[in-house]
Amino acid sequence: MPKNYLLTPGPTPLPPQVCEAMARPIIHHRTPQFQNILKEASDGLRYVFQTKGDVFILASSGTGAMEAAVVNLLSKGDTAVCIEGGKFGERWTELCRGYEINTEVVKVEWGKAVDTSVIKETLKNNPKIKVVFATLCETSTGVTNDIKALGEVVKETKAVLVVDAISGLGAIDLKTDGWSCDVVVSGSQKGLMLPPGLGFISVSAKAWKLIEESKSPRYYFDLKKAKKAADKTDTPFTPAINLIIGLCEALKIIKGVGLENVFARHKKMADATRAAAGALGLELFAPTASSDVVTAIRAPEGIDGEKLVKTMRDTYGVTIAGGQAELKGKVFRIAHMGYIEEFDIILGISCLEKVLHQMGYKFTLGTGIKAAEEVFLK
């Protein structure tokens, strides 16, 4: 079996101290010992979310946290805007429809960021809209949306802004309070450098008012239960203890480096990946809004993107992501998020060069690497 290298947009590789922490003998969750850990984790999350408000930890994947947002904020028959610019934007719509929420879907061309003026207009035309569901980084297309601009528009209305920051939180800037994001949801297996299994959700004062009104049935994801427990440094149901212990280690790393430096590192890796793609004559899928956490690259003519990804993974052990849904075979995605560093990007590009060469794509070996190295030397 080849040695494994992970360059995927979730899960991302794990720092060794996180692995070690998760492997410690387990402790009981209804103890002062665990309460200290829960407090440390919650404080650290507030730092990463850039909020002074509530952040809750759920034992679920990110989709569970998305469901928590929908069922706590809205009731059957309510109206919400869902911004759909990829597979994860579509998830908001699916979730809302599952709970019989009326959805005004704002379709965004895949590979483009949402045009904030369209949302402004939509909100103006329909004062019934209670929630705007957005996506920070649309992992399926490699696009980062301008959440700051969206926050400026939504805060002037009665609606609350909900951001899926599963991909991106702790890797690119997202000011929950500063940008008026009322609810931010995230997951553990991306910028936070943990295995999947934890969902996170922040709640603003404006969002709490909607939560008080919501009649959607809920139990496991009931944020009022979460709040009541959190006020006693507890959780309503058994928490995912060892993942939360790992979370404390990951948060220590992020705090130690400092958020600004973390963001700068991600930007540099993204710049290097984009430069390498350009130097290899490859086209970015999202040239105008390319995300700093994952780069989607079009498979060049005559190259099957799916075969490229499979060969890199199964023959050489370098796992990147293929295209999802309508992009299957047409794009491949290199992640540079979480515990991924400069030389991981270098090895990924080297493997890409190798397989592109073997598949008959014409280019000069090493040109992608050279372009990346130039960025890293800056």
> Please, which residue, 154 or 355, has the CB nearer to its own copies?
355
Is position 79 an interface residue for its own copies (rule: CB under 8 A)?
no
Residue 336 binds to its own copies (criterion: CB under 8 A)? no
Q: Out of 49, 55, 56, 64, name the contact with its own copies by CB under 8 A.
A: 64
Per CB under 8 A, 100 contacts its own copies: yes
CB of 90 to its own copies, least distance (A): 12
Q: Is residue 82 at the binding interface for its own copies, with CB under 8 A as the rule?
A: no
Assess 220 for contact with its own copies (CB under 8 A).
yes
Length of the chain: 378
**Per CB under 8 A, does 325 bind its own copies?**
no
Q: Which is nearer to its own copies, 225 or 265 (CB)?
A: 225
The Cα 249–Cα 16 span in angstroms is 10
22 in contact with its own copies (CB under 8 A): yes
Task: State the Cα–Cα distance between residues 68 and 226, nearest whole angstrom.
Answer: 11
Q: Does 341 bind its own copies (CB under 8 A)?
A: no
- CA angle, corner 234, sides to 228 and 238, nearest 5? 110
Q: Which residues, including other chains, have CB under 8 Å from residue 57's CB and lie 6 or more apart?
A: 38, 41, 42, 45, 198, 199, 200, 235, 239, 244, 247
Q: Which lies closer to its own copies via its Cβ, residue 62 or residue 85?
A: 62
Site pattern 108..137 for its own copies (x: CB under 8 A): ------------------------------
Under 8 Å between Cβ of 220 and 205:
no
Beta bridge partners of 105: 82
Contact flags string 235-254 toward its own copies, x per CB under 8 A: --xxxxxxx-----------
Q: Counting contacts by CB under 8 A, is residue 99 touching its own copies?
A: yes
Could you give the C-alpha distances from 187 to 61, 85, 228, in angstroms and in order?
6, 20, 22
**The one segment of 41-49, 64-72, 226-234, 293-301 that binds its own copies by CB under 8 A:** 64-72
What is the spatial distance between Cα 336 and Cα 191, in angstroms, rounded to a whole number?
A: 9
| Angle (deg, nearest 10), helices 116-125 and 147-154 | 20
Residues touching its own copies: how many (CB under 8 A)? Answer: 55
Place of tokens 């850990």: 37
- Which of 107, 118, 157, 195 is the binder for its own copies (CB under 8 A)? 195
Q: The tokens 């990951």 sit on which residue?
A: 250
Q: Which residues pair with 247 in a beta bridge?
A: none
67 binds its own copies (CB under 8 A): yes
Are 325 and 140 contacting, i.e. CB atoms less than 8 angstroms apart?
yes
At its nearest, how many Å lie between its own copies and the CB of residue 288?
Answer: 28
Stretch that binds its own copies, among 98-106, 119-127, 296-304, 360-368 (CB under 8 A): 98-106
Range 235-269 burial, b when 16+ CB lie within 10 A, else e:
bbeebbbbbbbbbbbbbbebeeeebeebbebbbbb
- Peptide bond before 9: cis, by omega within 30 degrees of 0? no
Interface with its own copies includes 189 (CB under 8 A)? yes
Considering the complex, state which of residue 98 and residue 258 has its C-beta at the smaller distance from its own copies.
98
DSSP 80: E
Q: Does residue 6 bind its own copies (CB under 8 A)?
A: yes
Distance CA 11, CA 4 (A): 13
Minimum Å gap between C-beta 226 and its own copies is 12
**Interaction of residue 212 with its own copies, rule CB under 8 A:** no
> Is the CB of residue 200 less than 8 Å from the CB of residue 55?
yes
Which range of residues in 105-113, 176-184, 214-222, 294-302 is near its own copies by CB under 8 A?
A: 214-222
Q: Which is nearer to its own copies, 70 or 114 (CB)?
A: 70
95 lies in the site for its own copies, by CB under 8 A:
yes
Summarize as ranges the residues that interact with its own copies (CB under 8 A).
4, 6, 8, 10-11, 13-14, 19-20, 22-29, 31-32, 59-64, 67, 70, 76, 94-95, 98-100, 187, 189, 195-197, 216-222, 237-243, 313-314, 319
